């Protein structure tokens, strides 16, 4: 008997498909990939996505179960998006079912219809009269009827309360036949005729060259790296390219690092165009997300803007993809499906044959390398568009200088001068809280986290010790937990401490703190920024939240309290991240008339990378860093995959990784000369975190093809290792963070 077999991807970590028979009464052969099917799975039900229809199965006939129901008449996923998911699962060695779970809106995974929301509309019935005797003594019903009569197209159910329409009154009117309810789809707004809601700026020569290069790539795949210093007018280039895409009848997809931090960016896109903008970010409800996703899929949104996961938004008429701040770490997902949205966006642009533009003032070394090798077209913009001068970067050697809450004497002087000149100061410090450690001066006790190999941070304002790695909290002790003495001292400085100190040093000026603790309230950030925009002399102190996308035209001095962490860290990317952060913070300064100055406190004032960065700028730094990577054989000159494992008992994670390592060695022995090296297993740099013991095994390869051949053979074996059940393990292809 030749039976039709449905091969489904199910939301499971297992890297395989699951076979089912077609649901009763459904002709299996007519089904197409992407359709959703409800199936029994153990004692539960699951929703799977059809990958292929076959006619035989390895599963014995009597074990093959029929699916329960077909959920779609056509696949809710357009073929292009389905293809992207297949590619993603394959590349990141992740289960396809789980990949689809990350890529699809929640409601679709739960079986919701893949249709825009149906809305109920209330109408006054034909011939209904306000003088109807049945409502003569019901003033609220009369009022409701009168309001409805003023809306000949009906009132959407969701707007009832806005119009002060009372649902009970409407129900009574409905029972009397004086009103009617109609269910219909909210009609999409039509496409506009005139795209521009505000005039465009005249592009300068550098902008014009970048614009023209990308413009000439429309209609086919081309990747461009737009490396333009902060303020060079990258956003204006994006805007004009988007206008071109819209005029050509296409949609544009724009990824930005964080929506909540960059409201100015989103506002600029919304203000420029008469366009239907779909905004996708983590603050949306499931329904809002699905509606935005559907609008993009059905061509009812012209511009799609979102964070990392918006990469998986389908488009009916894709025309252009833009990745703003392409170096930003938030494009890499660090859990579950560990994809990099920038890298996948390039793949997607290739699959959909559209141009992609990666923009940054501080491009990642990967992207610069791709530009050097000709994979990306390199577009440079050196000048600030508004005519502002670039800031000057100065290294302040603080060896043997006393630091007062992290702030040296010369820096205090520079801050004072700036404030007295009526300007603003930005103090950057990459550490929240009051101090990173609490120390007992009598016995040497340190505030270690009971669950991690890390210290708990002192949060003076909330009276807590808090671990920034696992979230563990304790009351700030008054006495040493070990010797009961009271001489407890916070060691080092975080933003809270710098804020306190600056307030004491400069009592006549406002000091505003910006970090995750100070801005957790929804409007806090907004209040802060309006204060700053007013422009009186003041001090802003904060973490990298300050580095993102904001314009502070009155800031003329930027102080970086400590740049050294990035220079001697064991993480080979630390110096790149430090340089990007310094340049991004520096880019906030002196954006208008006043030129800006950046003072970097360091104990390593002669470090070659720091000298390059401050004297010759980011691109000189990047060349130096790239040549160091080349000689060390590190990415982008090699490719990495990191196998991580963690377990409750010490030794378990290593034991699993030892077996994994043997399996990989056996494969390498069978296929010699692949240019692959195994490094480890070793304990993770922070071995214990949140109560688990962690270890890792790094795979380093000179070629991507060989690496992927190893990975796909290897993962099948790993899934079957019995010791894998006692540990949590995961594979990270192209890891950004080696911790």
Phi and psi dihedrals of 393, rounded to 5?
A: -105, 125
Is 467 a binding residue for Zn ion by CB under 5 A? The answer is: yes
User: Is residue 362 a contact partner of residue 584, using CB atoms and an 8 Å limit?
Assistant: yes
Is 483 annotated as belonging to a binding site?
Answer: yes
Q: Which does 480 bind (CB under 5 to 8 A by kind): ligand ADP, Zn ion, none?
A: Zn ion
504 lies in the site for Zn ion, by CB under 5 A? no
Query: Does position 480 bind Zn ion by CB under 5 A?
Result: yes
Query: CB-wise, 57 or 204, nearer to ligand ADP?
Result: 204
Residue 390 vs residues 383, 585, 592: alpha-carbon distances, Å: 8, 13, 10
Task: Residue 113: name its binding partner from Zn ion, ligand ADP, none (Cβ under 5 to 8 Å by kind).
Answer: none
Closest distance of CB 583 from ligand ADP, Å = 12
Alpha-carbon span 621 to 618, nearest angstrom:
5
Token pair of 587 as six digits: 């880019």
Tokens representing residue 439 in the block:
């120390």
Backbone angles phi, psi at 404, to 5 degrees: -105, 105
Our separate counts of H helices and E strands in the chain read 20, 32
451 makes contact with Zn ion (CB under 5 A)? yes
The distance in angstroms from the start CA to the end CA of the chain is 54
The one among 445, 619, 637, 667 contacting Zn ion by CB under 5 A: 445
Q: How far is the CB of 392 from ligand ADP (least distance, A)?
A: 18
> Looking at 449, 578, 582, 640, which residue binds Zn ion (CB under 5 A)?
449
Question: Nearest to residue 407, comparing CAs of 504, 335, 477?
Answer: 504
Minimum distance from CB of 209 to ligand ADP (Å)? 12
Stretch that binds Zn ion, among 292-300, 342-350, 465-473, 673-681 (CB under 5 A): 465-473
What whole-number distance in Å separates Cα of residue 569 and Cα of residue 96? 36
Among residues 342, 395, 459, 469, the one that binds Zn ion under rule CB under 5 A: 469
Instruction: Tell me the three state secondary structure of residue 531.
Output: helix
CB 49 within 8 A of CB 111: no
Nearer to ligand ADP by Cβ, of 234 and 573: the residue is: 234
Maximum Cα interatomic distance, the chain, rounded to a whole number of Å: 94
Task: Choose from Zn ion, ligand ADP, none: what does 201 bind? Cβ within 5-8 Å by kind.
Answer: ligand ADP
- Tell me: is residue 85 an annotated ligand-binding position: no
Ordered alpha helix ranges (H), 373-463:
409-420
Closest CA to 335 of 644, 91, 664, 86: 644
Partner whose binding site includes residue 562, from Zn ion, ligand ADP, none (CB under 5 to 8 Å by kind): none
Among 89, 252, 440, 660, binds Zn ion (CB under 5 A): 440
470 binds Zn ion (CB under 5 A): yes
Q: What residue 469 binds from ligand ADP, Zn ion, none (CB within 5 to 8 A, per partner kind)?
A: Zn ion
Q: For the purposes of burial, counting CB atoms within 10 Å of the CB of 401, is it exposed (0-12), middle (13-18) or buried (19 or more)? A: middle
Which CB, 379 or 465, lies closer to Zn ion?
465
Contact, 124 vs 178, CB < 8 A?
Answer: yes
488 makes contact with Zn ion (CB under 5 A)? no
Binding mask 229-258 for Zn ion (x = CB under 5 A): ------------------------------
Q: Which is nearer to Zn ion, 447 or 538 (CB)?
A: 447
Tell me: is residue 440 an annotated ligand-binding position: yes
Rounded Cα distance between 347 and 85, Å, is 11
Sheet-wide strand order for 36-41: 18-21, 5-9, 44-54, 36-41, 69-70
Residues that bind ligand ADP (CB under 6 A): 201-204, 207, 228, 230-236, 385-386
470 is in an annotated binding site: yes
- For residue 661, say whether it is annotated as part of any ligand binding site: no
Asked if 605 is part of the footprint of Zn ion (rule: CB under 5 A), the reply reads no
CA distance 347 to 89: 13
- Number of residues in contact with Zn ion under rule CB under 5 A: 14
Q: Which residues are annotated as a binding site for Zn(2+)?
A: 440, 443, 449, 452, 467, 470, 480, 483
Q: Which residues are annotated as a binding site?
A: 440, 443, 449, 452, 467, 470, 480, 483
**Residue numbers at the binding site for Zn ion (CB under 5 A):** 440, 442-443, 445, 449, 451-452, 467, 469-470, 472, 480, 482-483
């Amino acid at each position: 008997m030749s039976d039709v077999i449905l091969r489904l991807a199910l939301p499971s970590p297992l890297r395989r498909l699951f076979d089912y028979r077609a649901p009763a009464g459904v002709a299996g052969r007519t089904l197409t990939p992407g359709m959703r099917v409800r199936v029994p799975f153990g004692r539960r039900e699951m929703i799977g996505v059809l990958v292929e229809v076959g006619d035989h199965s390895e599963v014995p006939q009597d074990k093959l179960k029929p699916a329960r129901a077909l959920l779609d008449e056509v696949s809710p996923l357009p073929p292009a998006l389905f293809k992207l998911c297949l590619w993603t699962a394959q590349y990141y060695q992740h289960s396809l079912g789980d990949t689809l779970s990350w890529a699809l809106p929640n409601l679709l995974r739960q079986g919701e219809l893949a249709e825009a929301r149906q809305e109920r509309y209330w109408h006054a019935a034909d011939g209904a009269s306000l003088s109807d005797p049945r409502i003569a003594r019901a003033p609220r019903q009369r009022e409701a009827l009168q309001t409805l009569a003023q809306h000949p197209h009906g009132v959407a159910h969701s707007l009832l309360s806005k119009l002060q329409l009372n649902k009970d009154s409407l129900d009574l009117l409905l029972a009397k036949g004086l009103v009617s309810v109609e269910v219909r789809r909210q009609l999409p707004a039509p496409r506009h005729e005139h795209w521009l809601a505000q005039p465009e700026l005249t592009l300068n020569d550098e902008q014009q060259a970048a614009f023209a290069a990308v413009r000439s790539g429309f209609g086919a795949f081309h990747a461009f790296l737009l490396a333009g210093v902060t303020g060079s007018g990258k956003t204006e280039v994006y805007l004009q390219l988007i206008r071109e895409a819209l005029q050509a009848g296409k949609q544009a997809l724009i990824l930005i690092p964080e929506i909540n931090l960059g409201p100015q960016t989103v506002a600029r896109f919304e203000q420029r165009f008469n366009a239907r903008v779909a905004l996708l970010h983590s603050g949306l409800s499931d329904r809002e997300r699905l509606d935005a996703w559907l609008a993009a899929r059905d061509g009812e949104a012209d511009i799609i803007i979102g964070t990392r996961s918006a990469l998986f938004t389908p488009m009916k008429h894709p025309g252009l993809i833009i990745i703003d701040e392409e170096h930003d770490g938030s494009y890499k997902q660090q859990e579950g499906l560990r994809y990099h949205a920038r890298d996948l966006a390039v793949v997607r642009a290739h699959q959909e044959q559209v141009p992609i533009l990666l923009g940054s003032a501080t491009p990642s070394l990967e992207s610069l390398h791709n530009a050097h090798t000709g994979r990306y077209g390199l577009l440079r913009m050196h000048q600030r568009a508004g005519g502002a001068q670039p800031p000057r970067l100065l290294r302040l050697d603080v060896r043997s200088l006393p630091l007062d809450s992290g702030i040296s004497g010369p820096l205090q002087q520079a801050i004072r001068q700036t404030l007295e000149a009526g300007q603003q100061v930005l103090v950057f410090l990459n550490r929240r809280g009051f101090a990173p450690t609490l120390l007992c001066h009598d016995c040497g006790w340190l505030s270690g986290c009971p669950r991690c190999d890390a210290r708990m941070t002192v949060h003076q304002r909330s009276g807590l010790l808090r671990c920034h790695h696992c979230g563990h909290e304790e009351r700030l002790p008054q006495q040493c937990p070990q010797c009961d003495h009271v001489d407890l001292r916070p060691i080092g400085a975080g933003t809270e401490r710098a804020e306190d100190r600056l307030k004491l040093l400069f009592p006549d000026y406002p000091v505003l703190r910006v970090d995750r603790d100070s801005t957790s309230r929804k409007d806090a950030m907004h209040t802060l920024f309006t204060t700053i925009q007013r422009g009186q002399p003041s001090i802003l102190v904060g973490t990298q939240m300050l580095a993102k996308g904001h314009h502070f035209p009155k800031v003329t001095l930027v102080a970086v309290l400590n740049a050294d962490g990035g220079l001697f860290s064991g993480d080979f990317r630390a110096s790149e991240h430090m340089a990007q952060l310094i340049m991004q913070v520096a880019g906030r300064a002196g954006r208008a008339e006043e030129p800006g100055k950046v003072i970097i406190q360091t104990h390593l004032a002669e470090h070659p990378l720091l000298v390059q960065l401050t004297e010759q700028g980011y691109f000189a730094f990047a060349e130096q860093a790239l040549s160091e990577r080349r000689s060390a054989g590190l990415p982008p000159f090699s490719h990495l995959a990191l196998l991580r494992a963690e377990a409750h008992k010490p030794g378990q994670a290593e034991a699993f990784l030892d077996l994994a390592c043997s399996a990989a060695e056996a494969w390498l022995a069978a296929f010699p000369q692949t240019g692959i090296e195994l490094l480890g297993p070793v304990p993770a740099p922070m071995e214990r975190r949140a109560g688990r013991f962690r270890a890792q095994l790094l795979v380093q390869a000179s070629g991507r093809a060989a690496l992927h051949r190893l990975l796909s053979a290897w993962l099948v074996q790993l899934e079957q290792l019995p010791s894998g059940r006692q540990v949590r393990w995961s594979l990270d292809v192209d890891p950004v963070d080696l911790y």
